[in-house]
Structure 1
Amino acid sequence: MALKPLIGLLGVLVAALNAQFNELVMAAALADVRGAFGISHDPGLWIGSVYASGVVFGMALGPWLAVTFTLRRFTLFAIGLVCGTTLLIPFAPDLSVMLGLRLFQGLGGGFTIPLLMMTALRVLTPPIRLYGLAIYALTATFSPAISSSIAALWTDIVDWRFVFFEALPLGALAAVLVWHGLPQDHSRYERLHQFDWRGALLLAIGAGTLTTLMYHGDHKDWFNSEEVWVLVLLCAVTFALLALNEWHHPLPVLKLQLLKQRNFAYGVLGLFLFVVLSLSSSLVPQTYLVEIQGYRALQGHWITLLIALGQFLMLPAVAFLLDHRWADARIVTLFGLALIGMACLGNAALDASWNREQFYLWQALQAVGQPMVVLPLLMMATNTVKGPEEGPFASALVNATRSLAAPVGIGILEFIERWRGALHSERLVEQVGQTRFQPMFAPNSLLPGSSPAVSEQGERLARAVVAQANVLTAADTFLILAAFGVALALLVVLLPVRTYPPRILFARG
């Protein structure tokens, strides 16, 4: 096949990775960025939530706009939007301006990522499509894992501003490759007469409501807050109306009819669960090392770097495995889920003595298991795409659902922390209360004047209770995420049907 389209695909890959780094590196370095701007914790929650709102809206709308304005032209616009807003953020005069820039930064990132799947489905012929899907899978496995290492480099060694400045060289490279490699199609402005304005409005409201709920729910004390109940109700009504509108619209933003195909429905639901499950290898162990063991980003990033580097070996290997007729994608997926489940259960045995060395074995299992889940999933989903006209709709639906998984996963983790953390704290305090006088009046706890060292002992005891409650909560989090793996395994058994690699399937068709 021709070389130029592959160069264009490489450019879209660089643009997609750049967009993801804007989100994930910023999330990993958020404490340093907040400190540099003088932003406290609660207002700082909006930095993540407005970005996530833009991503959800952009991922759903991006493929539709790319068909209308041409793939090449719209990709260059998305790259420019990402780079322009990212470079302006370090110079924002106040939080309001910063949040506005973050919203448009998220919108640009959301535009960019689904264009990678859309371009891969268009450019890659069936004999090499599996390897192209492995390239897309980098955005689900490699980017989340490498972001901690990049954040550690900028915040602990260079300067926090490079969290944003890194977008310029990557964006420039992506733009040159896209401009040179992607063909210039004819614009289809007549589609604007059929634009789904009602669906776009409902999507914007739903995305903003859901991300606000997930990012701010814990701060509002979840369902003990009237505001949370209002957000839940608004979310349910908005998404119900959105589904009804998209089902009946002649040219929808999200073509829900694709979900009638079992393998595509599995791809959408499975990728959502996988994104939540993958937090067991990134956010959860990183949070443990930072909050409980006092690690800096530069010290803790090695456990996720192991997963990131492993993808360059595992993704091509899994693609090669799936490219054989005898390889059943469902069996490969179940084997990968078994490895991830073992990693979650192994991590659930953690205690207060664990450091990063204790995580390496379980992270290695994650590095092997994750590509064995995500690549078969992508193959089963994209094998249902019957022609080039379905590619943009498939990309929009898969990526829009995937974009919802990140804020939902964060909300789930915060809910687990509040629920299990409160339970463990209460039980530990009860146990301490039963023997509260023994340590207080022990011989080594008396001051020279023979009065109990109540204050010092009490402070140490309180810190120990909090630390142990955090350890137990982290262990529970791994167990609950393992349950998500079980749910995904049940979905694999019940929903998808056997499919074959694209080079065989489409050669027969």
Structure 2
Amino acid sequence: MAENAEKLDARLVKLGAVIVCGAFLSAMDATIVSVSLDSVGREFCAPLSSLQWVAAGYLLSLAMVVPVTGWAAERFGARRMWLFALSLFVGASALCGAAWSVESLIAFRLLQGLGGGLVPPLAQILLVRAAGPRRIGRVMTLVSVPTQLAPIVGPSVGGLLVHDLGWRWIYYINLPLGGIAVLFAWLALEKDTPAPGESGRLDVLGLLLLSPGLTALLYGLSVLEESPDGFGSGKVLAFVGGGAVLMAVFVVRALRQRAMPPVVDLRLFGNRAFALASGLLFLLGATLFGAMFLLPLYYQQVQGHDALRAGLLLAPQGAGTVIALALAGALVDRFGPRYIVLTGIALTVLGTLAFTGAGTGTNDALLTGALVLRGLGLGAVATPLTASAYRSLTKDAVPRAAPALVIVQRIGGSLGTAALAVLLQGQLGRADGAGEPSAAAVADAFSTTFWWTAGLSAVALVPALFLPGRPRDTENAGPPETDDGSSPASADFERRP
């Protein structure tokens, strides 16, 4: 009986397929639009300063809506919110395709981001609730592998659509695909009952603090990457400082709040296993997104490749990630997250070290192998950490946990990218003190920055040692509940030295 309880039945596989249909669209839209900006700028005679908001506005809108997801799933039901999110995304896509100016396109992209931003946390809520603690890893794999392919194929698909049909079809393509996703969800998702009582009360003040604070912080960090003055820029200080203050006020208020549940329940971080997994996801976000900022620049500024070839040379990392994701889910359900995550971190560090000594003439085959190692490492870390975070919680706590995990990883990604951008900028600034830097000086600047990237990855080895070990061979339906809706990680895992 225990063996049957751990198998992925047809119901879970069908749920995974439904989630993939929606999650793939949302993930692909974050990258597919970039190849259309040149055509949009020519048609609307729009400057680059306006065009950047077509992409940035979507990403900031994604961040703004995440905090409300847990409350909405409890208040209205996860199935209903999933259908609403996809419908909003598809409707906004139609409006984007019909845009008559760059200003209208930006406005419709913000609306599209509100729908797309609900998708990742809702996907986790639906999957974790259905899978239970013993099958989370494999169910996450069902969704993660196709979703990880979306950012890889996005620019290629976008290029074909722009070339053959025009930039508007970047958005119109979402109509038939999104319609299919909505239909599948309508037919396949089981109805859930909204939670009564306090879950129906929205923490409006908390939302007004957290959503603008998170959005301002992420925008300020994105501006920091391009600012020659770094943190000395008034614009950067205003957005980063203002966002940090709003979020700090939210944290103090949420920890003291008792009258109603806060929009993101910070008391979940009192659960050791959840806090540990969240911290490692923060570092994963910094390592993943920070390196994805550095690697294309390295191939273009040091190796001298154009943007297209640089993108193709990065494909091995995506391939390695997909391979690791396909294997990690079953392994974490069987062996627990500790040794899989440690192996993944080690592979990520080894793959990054190859770039610390890379110069203008470094062999592409060596760097390709290093990227495959990085991809394998990153893929081996992501699913086990997510599974570990959710395994330590009760079913009722999942809607509150999903937005927290998404926020933590996005802040980690933005901070990591900004920190590495400032570091690289400083290295290049010292190199060009006497004029235009030589190719060797530019390579040295990137080498130093990659050393910091490897070090950031290696830091995660220490907390990863405290992750749970092999799952106990018991028939638990789930971990026991505590007062805050969380549960001790020891309920599902045994600690092994």
Question: Corresponding residue for 1:491?
Answer: 463
Question: Corresponding residue for 1:274?
Answer: 284
Cα deviation code 1:356-405 (max 9, x no counterpart) = 5453111110222112211221222111112x211111112111222333
Query: How much has 1:293 moved relative to structure 2?
Result: 5.2
Question: What CA distance in whole angstroms lies between the structure 1 residues aligned with 2:425 and 2:34?
Answer: 21
Which of 182, 197, 220 does residue 204 from structure 2 map onto? 197
Query: How much has 1:111 moved relative to structure 2?
Result: 0.5
Question: What CA distance in whole angstroms lies between the structure 1 residues aligned with 2:185 and 2:349?
Answer: 39
Q: Kindly tell me: are residues 321 and 117 of structure 1, through their superposed partners in 2, closer, same or farther at Cα, counting changes over 3 Å?
A: same
Unaligned runs of 5+ in 2: 1-7, 479-490, 493-497
Query: How much has 1:478 moved relative to structure 2?
Result: 2.1
Query: How much has 1:349 moved relative to structure 2?
Result: 2.1
Q: Kindly tell me: are residues 233 and 298 of structure 1, through their superposed partners in 2, closer, same or farther at Cα, counting changes over 3 Å?
A: closer
Question: Corresponding residue for 2:311?
Answer: 301
Which of 128, 140, 146 does residue 133 from structure 1 map onto? 140
- Amino acid in structure 1 at the alignment position of 2:458: V
Question: Corresponding residue for 2:189?
Answer: 182
Question: Corresponding residue for 2:331?
Answer: 321
Aligned counterparts, 1:271-420, within 5 A: 271-279=281-289, 282-290=292-300, 295-296=305-306, 298-324=308-334, 327-354=335-362, 357-386=365-394, 388-420=395-427
Conserved in 2, the CA contact under 8 Å of 1:126 and 1:503?
A: no
Which of 57, 69, 73 does residue 76 from structure 2 map onto? 69
Question: What CA distance in whole angstroms lies between the structure 2 residues aligned with 1:200 and 1:125?
Answer: 29
Which of 253, 257, 263 does residue 253 from structure 1 map onto? 263
- Amino acid in structure 1 at the alignment position of 2:451: L
Conserved in 2, the CA contact under 8 Å of 1:145 and 1:304?
A: no
Tell which deviates more after alignment, 65-74 or 315-324.
315-324
- Amino acid in structure 2 at the alignment position of 1:265: A
Conserved in 2, the CA contact under 8 Å of 1:9 and 1:119?
A: no
Conserved in 1, the CA contact under 8 Å of 2:299 and 2:310?
A: yes
Q: Kindly tell me: are residues 407 and 46 of structure 1, through their superposed partners in 2, closer, same or farther at Cα, counting changes over 3 Å?
A: farther
Question: What CA distance in whole angstroms lies between the structure 1 residues aligned with 2:414 and 2:167?
Answer: 24
Question: Corresponding residue for 1:229?
Answer: 237
Q: Kindly tell me: are residues 466 and 114 of structure 1, through their superposed partners in 2, closer, same or farther at Cα, counting changes over 3 Å?
A: farther
Partner-residue secondary structure (3-state), 1:301? helix
Question: What CA distance in whole angstroms lies between the structure 1 residues aligned with 2:73 and 2:33?
Answer: 27
Conserved in 2, the CA contact under 8 Å of 1:12 and 1:75?
A: no
Question: Corresponding residue for 1:444?
Answer: none
Identity %: 21
Q: Kindly tell me: are residues 491 and 423 of structure 1, through their superposed partners in 2, closer, same or farther at Cα, counting changes over 3 Å?
A: farther
Q: Kindly tell me: are residues 105 and 398 of structure 1, through their superposed partners in 2, closer, same or farther at Cα, counting changes over 3 Å?
A: same
Partner-residue secondary structure (3-state), 1:93? coil
Question: What CA distance in whole angstroms lies between the structure 2 residues aligned with 1:140 and 1:374?
Answer: 13
Q: Kindly tell me: are residues 409 and 88 of structure 1, through their superposed partners in 2, closer, same or farther at Cα, counting changes over 3 Å?
A: farther
Query: How much has 1:261 moved relative to structure 2?
Result: 1.4
TM-score normalised by L of structure 1: 0.82
- Amino acid in structure 2 at the alignment position of 1:14: C
Q: Kindly tell me: are residues 204 and 488 of structure 1, through their superposed partners in 2, closer, same or farther at Cα, counting changes over 3 Å?
A: same
Question: What CA distance in whole angstroms lies between the structure 1 residues aligned with 2:313 and 2:83?
Answer: 35
Q: Kindly tell me: are residues 135 and 272 of structure 1, through their superposed partners in 2, closer, same or farther at Cα, counting changes over 3 Å?
A: farther
Conserved in 1, the CA contact under 8 Å of 2:320 and 2:376?
A: yes
Question: What CA distance in whole angstroms lies between the structure 2 residues aligned with 1:29 and 1:348?
Answer: 34
Question: What CA distance in whole angstroms lies between the structure 2 residues aligned with 1:155 and 1:297?
Answer: 17
Conserved in 1, the CA contact under 8 Å of 2:264 and 2:400?
A: yes
Which of 439, 454, 471 does residue 500 from structure 1 map onto? 471
Conserved in 2, the CA contact under 8 Å of 1:345 and 1:479?
A: yes
Query: How much has 1:178 moved relative to structure 2?
Result: 0.8
Conserved in 1, the CA contact under 8 Å of 2:357 and 2:447?
A: yes
Cα deviation code 1:62-113 (max 9, x no counterpart) = 2321221222221111112112223332443333322222222222111011
- Amino acid in structure 2 at the alignment position of 1:253: V
Compare CA radii of gyration and give the structure with the larger one: 1
1:24 is the counterpart of 2:31: yes
1:263 is the counterpart of 2:273: yes
Aligned counterparts, 1:209-228, within 5 A: 209-217=216-224, 218-219=226-227, 221-228=229-236
- Amino acid in structure 1 at the alignment position of 2:323: L
Query: How much has 1:149 moved relative to structure 2?
Result: 4.2
Q: Kindly tell me: are residues 307 and 225 of structure 1, through their superposed partners in 2, closer, same or farther at Cα, counting changes over 3 Å?
A: closer
Unaligned runs of 5+ in 1: 430-461
Question: What CA distance in whole angstroms lies between the structure 1 residues aligned with 2:48 and 2:408?
Answer: 28
Conserved in 2, the CA contact under 8 Å of 1:60 and 1:399?
A: no
CA RMSD after TM alignment: 3.1
Conserved in 1, the CA contact under 8 Å of 2:79 and 2:189?
A: yes
Question: What CA distance in whole angstroms lies between the structure 1 residues aligned with 2:222 and 2:23?
Answer: 24
1:243 is the counterpart of 2:251: yes
Question: What CA distance in whole angstroms lies between the structure 2 residues aligned with 1:187 and 1:155?
Answer: 42
Conserved in 2, the CA contact under 8 Å of 1:55 and 1:106?
A: yes
Query: How much has 1:138 moved relative to structure 2?
Result: 3.8
Partner-residue secondary structure (3-state), 1:323? helix
Query: How much has 1:304 moved relative to structure 2?
Result: 3.6
Tell which deviates more after alignment, 229-238 or 375-384.
229-238
TM-score normalised by L of structure 2: 0.84
What is the count of residue pairs matched by the alignment? 470
- Amino acid in structure 2 at the alignment position of 1:257: R
Question: What CA distance in whole angstroms lies between the structure 2 residues aligned with 1:354 and 1:266?
Answer: 38
Query: How much has 1:182 moved relative to structure 2?
Result: 0.8
Q: Kindly tell me: are residues 315 and 179 of structure 1, through their superposed partners in 2, closer, same or farther at Cα, counting changes over 3 Å?
A: same
